[in-house]
Structure 1
Amino acid sequence: MKFKKALVFACAIAIPFAANAAFKDVTVNGTKISAAEQEQILAAATAHGQKRTPQLEQAIRDNLIARTVVLQEAEKAGVEKRPAVAAAIQNARKQIVSDVYLSDYLKKNPVTDAEVRKVYDQQKAQYGKTEIHINHIAVKTQDEAQKIQARLAKGESFQKIARAESLDPTAKRNGGDMGWVNTGALPPPMVSTLQGLKGNKTAIVTGPAGYEVVMNRGTRNAKAAPSFDRVKPEIRRALEAQKVNAYMRDLVKKAQVK
């Protein structure tokens, strides 16, 4: 049984917008929808970039009314008593409680600006001066890589083979085209190998899946490294994820698992 989350602001019921829809308590068939509940949903919407407008306030109210009516009918039908639904509700409760706890952990142990800056400086120092347009096909064994290399030497299409043979899902979709990759993001031996390839020549290198058949489609000067302000949010999110994962690993390590 699959459960799909309803879109919060896409309401199928057309109700005219109010000119000034300040929140107030609403009662629907005896069920109260508080102004505080409406404000909570509005806060989540504005946190994701939406502007507070009378139209948005009205849309929130309309959606909560519609959801309440549907929920009332579902309760009459005994939907919550179904085992699969009860299990889904329990799992959702556990996830929400866990997420809030981890959010509290991050508030008490925040990623500092100094930590973000340190990662940025490290990445900037590793930023290469050139970019290489790479095509690749990922396979498990060296024998497979050699066979593919032989097929390419005979003139078979790189894109066709990548879509059929590559273990990389992205390569299957785009015919093995990795686009322009900064040399700072690649192991030095791979950079040397790629820089030595000309025309349609290929080489075999080790990769995450086992082996990769690679081709250099071109080289160009790298663009300037992105500014600190541009990548700061992304770096912070990555560090927060690392901190949370490390904390969870520590909890699991201390737990008595039988």
Structure 2
Amino acid sequence: MSTSRTALILFLAAAGLFAAGCDKKPADEAGKQAKEPDKVVATVNGEKLMQSDYQNYLQLRQQQVGPIPDKDKEKQIVMDELIEKMLLAQHAISTKLDQEPEVSSLMKRVREEILVQAVKRKLLRDNPITEDDVKKRFEQEVEATHKTEYKVRHILVKDEAEAKDILAQIEKGAKFDKLAKDKSVDTQSGKNGGELGWINQGMVVPEFFNAVMAMKKGAVSAAPVKSDFGWHIIKVEDTRPLKIPAFEEFMADQRARANIQRKMQDDRIGNLVKDLKGKAKITVN
């Protein structure tokens, strides 16, 4: 690949266009392009602009700003933008901007990001997630899920001493919802008397949920509960069995299905990184 064309690709990647979606062609279109020989669509100061460059940029541009109904006009706009970017990239190289430490470092990071995305795409393409894979993961998630959900209120403050003072007031008969309105720094729930509604595992931070699981219905936490947000006084108002959907119902929920598939993809990528780390020689100064 020529230096100028490399610079063009880096230019597009730095703009968030190249790495973000260059694998999103429909399968038939990608197959058709793979079979057809690439051809030169323009030459800029002796550097070739290929049909594949044009198609990639056109697709990514359409994802960013939408297609232009007038296809001849769109073609002209895309060609003009590509040529301008090539000219700017060539000018940067001719004036040695690519050798400046800050620019060189940025280009290195962008190149790494392109390669990272390419590795991820290939890994997921070579190891597609099947419906059987999703079903197995769904069953594992169900098995690990706490089977009760809780209706709770809380009062959140930043200081432990204040939390203990509020707890002492509750023990003396002060109204929980009134204290939540007056004292809680979680203003969203505070204006509703500290009400969080029904929660289950994963909806709140682990420290909070662990405390809730240990409490009985109608109880207020015996001591303030610390989390990254501050100090919580918790009240469990009610409990009920968690309704878990059947697998077929789960698969019909597009968002839920996408979430579990994303988690599975992240796990596969994480396993590859773990394997690479295990084999690598890494020194941190």
Q: What TM-score does the superposition give when structure 2 sets the normalisation length?
A: 0.57
The amino acid across from 2:233 in the alignment is V
Q: For residues 88 and 237 of structure 2, what CA distance do their matches in structure 1 show? A: 57
- Letter of the 1:88 counterpart: L
Alignment of structure 1 residues 120-135 onto 2, 5 Å = 120-123=138-141, 126=145, 132=151, 134-135=153-154
User: Against the structure 1 CA distance between its residues 71 and 212, is the aligned structure 2 distance closer, same or farther, given a 3 Å change threshold?
Assistant: same
Matched residue, 1:244: 269
Cα gap change, 1:48 to 1:75, in 2 (>3 Å): closer
Contact 1:136–1:213 (CA under 8 A) maintained in structure 2: yes
| 1:170-209: CA deviation from partner (whole Å, max 9, x where unpaired) | x6x8567795454354757614637425xxx666465664
Q: Take 1:118 and 1:219, find their aligned partners in 2: how far apart are those partners? A: 29
Question: Over the residues paired in the alignment, what is the CA RMSD in angstroms?
Answer: 4.7
Could you tell me which residue of structure 2 aligns to residue 227 of structure 1?
A: 250
State the 1:237 CA deviation: 1.2
Distance in 2, matches of 1:188 and 1:143, equals: 22
Q: How does 1:1-258 map to 2 (within 5 A)?
A: 5-6=14-15, 25-28=41-44, 30-44=46-60, 54=71, 60-123=78-141, 126=145, 132=151, 134-135=153-154, 137=156, 145-147=163-165, 149=167, 161-162=184-185, 179-185=196-202, 187=209, 190-191=212-213, 193=215, 195-197=217-219, 204=223, 206=225, 209=228, 212-215=232-235, 225=245, 227-229=250-252, 230=254, 231-258=256-283
Structure 1 spans left out of the alignment, 5+ residues: 10-22, 163-170
Q: Secondary structure at the match of 1:25?
A: strand
- 1:60 to 1:94, Cα distance in 2 relative to 1, 3 A: same
In 1, the alpha carbon distance for the partners of 2:62 and 2:180 equals: 49
Q: CA deviation at 1:238?
A: 0.7
Q: Structure 1 residues 206, 237: CA separation in 2 closer, same or farther (over 3 Å shift)? A: same
CA deviations 1:143-185 (Å, max 9, x no partner) are 67435645886965558643xxxxxxxx6x8567795454354
Question: What is the number of equivalent residue pairs in this alignment?
Answer: 230
What's the secondary structure of 1:214's corresponding residue? Answer: strand
Matched AA of 2:269? V
Cα gap change, 1:175/1:36 in structure 2, threshold over 3 Å: closer, same or farther? same
What secondary structure, in the 3-state scheme, does the structure 1 residue paired with 2:281 have?
coil
Q: Given residue 228 of structure 1, which amino acid in structure 2 is its aligned partner?
A: M
Change in CA separation of 1:148 and 1:251 when aligned onto 2, cut-off 3 Å:
farther
TM-score (norm 1): 0.62
1:129 Cα deviation from its structure 2 partner: 7.2
Indicate the percent of aligned positions where both proteins have the same amino acid: 20
Alpha-carbon displacement from aligned partner over 1:92-133 (angstroms, at most 9, x marks no partner): 222322332233233333333212112334445748675636
Alpha-carbon distance between aligned partners in 1 of 2:62 and 2:86, rounded to the nearest angstrom:
23
Distance 1:26 1:194 in 2: 73
**1:202 touches 1:215 (CA, 8 Å); kept in 2?**
yes
Alpha carbons of structure 1 residues 160 and 100: separation in structure 2 relative to 1, 3 Å: farther
Distance of aligned partners of 1:157 and 1:212 in 2 relative to their CA distance in 1, 3 Å threshold = closer
Deviates more, 1:59-68 or 1:82-91: 59-68
Deviations 1:49-106 (A, max 9, x none): 9669537655543432332233233334432121111111112222322332233233
